[in-house]
Structure 1
Amino acid sequence: MLLNHEQYQSSFDKAMACAVECEHCAEACTGQPDMVKCARMCLDTAESCRTLATFMVRGSYFIAPLAKACAEICDTCAQECEKHDMEHCQKCARSCREAAGMYRQIVDTAMAAS
């Protein structure tokens, strides 16, 4: 279902904010042997959020299925980051939870419209 990209502005902003927090967390975790999983998960999550944001800009037909996958990815990343007490991990987890909620709203809206 093709939707006008302006409908996604707040979602785009949330996706990019999540990508930034994930990149920051990954960078802060890099070089710490016990944080490799967190860093890698954050990098993958950042990439998925950026990809979804790009799809939103284009008004892609594939926004809803990608949003569903990104919600799961963000939830998984949040679970990993919540295991760690560092502030950057906690900020990343919060951003991932917020993004996942927004992505689920996109899916629900797309399903209702079809």
Structure 2
Amino acid sequence: MQSAEMKSCIEACLACYKTCTSMAMNHCLEMGGEHTEPDHFRLMMACAEMCRTSAHFMLIGTPHHKHTCRECAEICAECAKDCERIGDMDECVAACRACAESCQKMAA
């Protein structure tokens, strides 16, 4: 059975997955420049996939979600910082920060 906190974290992870994927594939590719620098683009894709994986681990009820959530929190925080550095990515920054905070609680 999922707690309210876990359900909230799953939603935050899925929202971040959707936002990072959509922003990377649409906004970043259209903007070019810093938005498509390999390190930044790879970080966004890693963030999206880690969020999806963490949500999946919580949905299937494995106790290993603590490990994926810990890594997810770290990657999301890094992604938020990099998106903020580049600018014009407020939606991504907000989604990553929310997910990082939620995953940090689930990893504890």
TM-score range, shorter chain: 0.7 to 0.9
Partner in structure 2 of residue 111 of structure 1: none
Residue-pair matches, total: 102
CA distance in 2, matches of 1:21, 1:76: 15
Partner in structure 2 of residue 29 of structure 1: 28
Unaligned runs of 5+ in 1: 109-114
CA distance in 2, matches of 1:85, 1:66: 28
1:78 Cα shift? Answer: 0.5
Unaligned runs of 5+ in 2: none
Match of 1:38 among 37, 40, 44: 40
CA distance in 1, matches of 2:107, 2:86: 30
Partner in structure 1 of residue 81 of structure 2: 79
> Secondary structure, in 3 states, of the residue corresponding to 1:52?
helix
CA distance in 1, matches of 2:107, 2:28: 32
Partner in structure 2 of residue 112 of structure 1: none
Structure whose CA Rg is larger: 1
Deviations 1:66-85 (A, max 9, x none): 11111000010011000122
Partner in structure 1 of residue 13 of structure 2: 15
> Normalized against structure 1, the TM-score is what?
0.82
RMSD: 1.3
Contact residue 12 and residue 53 of structure 1 kept, 8 A: yes
CA distance in 2, matches of 1:41, 1:70: 12
> Secondary structure, in 3 states, of the residue corresponding to 1:83?
helix
The percent of aligned pairs where both chains have the same amino acid is 28
Partner in structure 1 of residue 103 of structure 2: 103
Deviations 1:41-95 (A, max 9, x none): 1111000000000001111121111111110000100110001221xx1110111
> Normalized against structure 2, the TM-score is what?
0.86
